[in-house]
A and B are shown apart, each in its own frame.
Chain A
Amino acid sequence: MKYVDEFRDGKLARGLAAAIATEAAPACRYSFMEFCGGHTHAISRYGVTDLLPANVRMVHGPGCPVCVLPIGRVDMAIELALEHGVILCTYGDCLRVPASDGLSLMKAKARGGDVRMVYSSADALKIAQDNPGRQVVFFAIGFETTTPPTAVVIRQAAALGLENFSVLCCHVLTPSAISNILESPGVRELGTVPLDGFIGPAHVSTVIGYAPYEFFAEEFRKPVVIAGFEPLDVMQAILMLVRQVNQGRAEVENEFSRAVSRDGNLKAQNLVSEIFELRREFEWRGLGLVPYSALKIRREYARFDAETRFPLGYRSVADNKACECGAILRGVKRPQDCKLFGTVCTPENPIGSCMVSSEGACAAHYTYGRYKDAR
């Protein structure tokens, strides 16, 4: 696979590992957060941390749309499927997310809900066209990468005059969540670890560019490197962060120059702003209410908004009190510091958000890395 396999080369990895080991000052400790679950997954799946010196620590951030999706939003989707009799379409990732009353979308399906997994937003639109007598709702999750495809189908539905298609919009925004990690009230309560830099998700930046991080780097004096998701990309980004720290710089650098520019994909951005506007606040599982961190469908397109079309109320559902996800998402604690981890909270039976998807910090550590804790 061109542009994939070359970026997984073990020999080049050893070279980069040696460069990181040489440049990381022995007297310093470096803590970097990879914001995105895709990076967490790559780090765990390829064993990247085994190639890093002991004084470089990776902290797993909250960038997994499934993990941060609050239970109350999944409850809404289940209500649509079970009580309003809609065809509820969603990405495979959402099916297993535990909701209230021991339910999940998969379990709602077993109770007779018409829940269908789609690979693309376009599939949901097609289902609506094929079933004119049924209401079809697309349960849309994801960050800036996944939002434009949702915008495309809303505009297509408008062009087609579809009366039976709507979207339950749960799209969230990356830069506001990263800021929240450093300055939210939660951080004051939980304390904070000194994060020395951030790895930013390349796929988000293919759409939004890297400019949105410039304010962040300057305001918080933290270096940011936008990096691809292959393991060599991650290693290179770590090396670039180590150098910025050593040189006292706090800039935005772009490791994924092969598809990320400063401005990103303007066509996609314009489409998104035509269809969506900022929500005043949105609940993130594990982070709580984060101001201006999500999108909702504009009034002009309200007839495609499932929250307008159906009588749905949002009810916030608290996480288990012993759950440490809030602290883990901010890097204050590690998964293995939580007493639920690996005991009652496992990928088969997730209690907290970080265990929900294989990209969550806890699930990744449980699935790929728990040999490190074994004695």
Chain B
Amino acid sequence: MCLAIPARVAEILEGDQAIVDLGGVRKDVSLALLDDVNIGDYVIVHVGYALQKLDPEEAEKTLALFAEMGTQV
């Protein structure tokens, strides 16, 4: 239902705005829904708003889990 994509915060602008980068494509997004966002953070972007920060450690854990599942069989 809700198309959202993780993108890296490349620049933080005035007025709760930021520019995020996804594979070389840059997009203006609003940070109005998040606190404490820093350059280099990955955020989940939906309709031009950052909804949540992505936790890189948890992402790595999930990927490791996928790999582990496959090797158990």
Contact = CB atoms under 8 A, between A and B. Distances in A.
Chains A and B in contact, CB within 8 Å? yes
A257 B34 contact: no
Interface in A227-259: 229, 232-233, 236, 239, 255, 257-259
Chain A interface residue bracket vs B: 35 or more
A345 to B, nearest CB: 21
B4 A22 contact: no
Nearest to A119: B48
A257 B55 contact: yes
Chain B interface residue bracket vs A: 35 or more
Contact of A255 (B6, B23, B62, B70): B62
A146 B3 CA distance: 10
A100 B72 CA distance: 55
Chain B contact residues, majority secondary structure: mixed
Contacts of A239: 69
Interface string B1-21: 111111010000000000000
Nearest to A63: B1
Interface string A128-152: 0000000000000011011011001
- Please give me the 4 A-B residue pairs with the lowest Cβ-Cβ distance, nearest first: A15-B70, A120-B48, A145-B2, A206-B52
Interface of B: 1-6, 8, 22-23, 30, 32-35, 42, 44, 46-49, 51-56, 58-59, 61-63, 65-67, 69-73
22 contacts: A12-B66, A15-B73, A16-B70, A18-B70, A38-B1, A119-B48, A121-B47, A121-B48, A122-B48, A142-B1, A142-B2, A149-B47, A203-B51, A206-B52, A229-B4, A236-B69, A257-B58, A258-B62, A259-B54, A264-B52, A265-B51, A271-B33
Interface of A: 1-4, 6-7, 9, 11-12, 14-16, 18-19, 22, 36-38, 63-65, 91, 119-123, 142-143, 145-146, 148-149, 152, 201, 203-204, 206-207, 229, 232-233, 236, 239, 255, 257-260, 264-265, 267-268, 271, 359
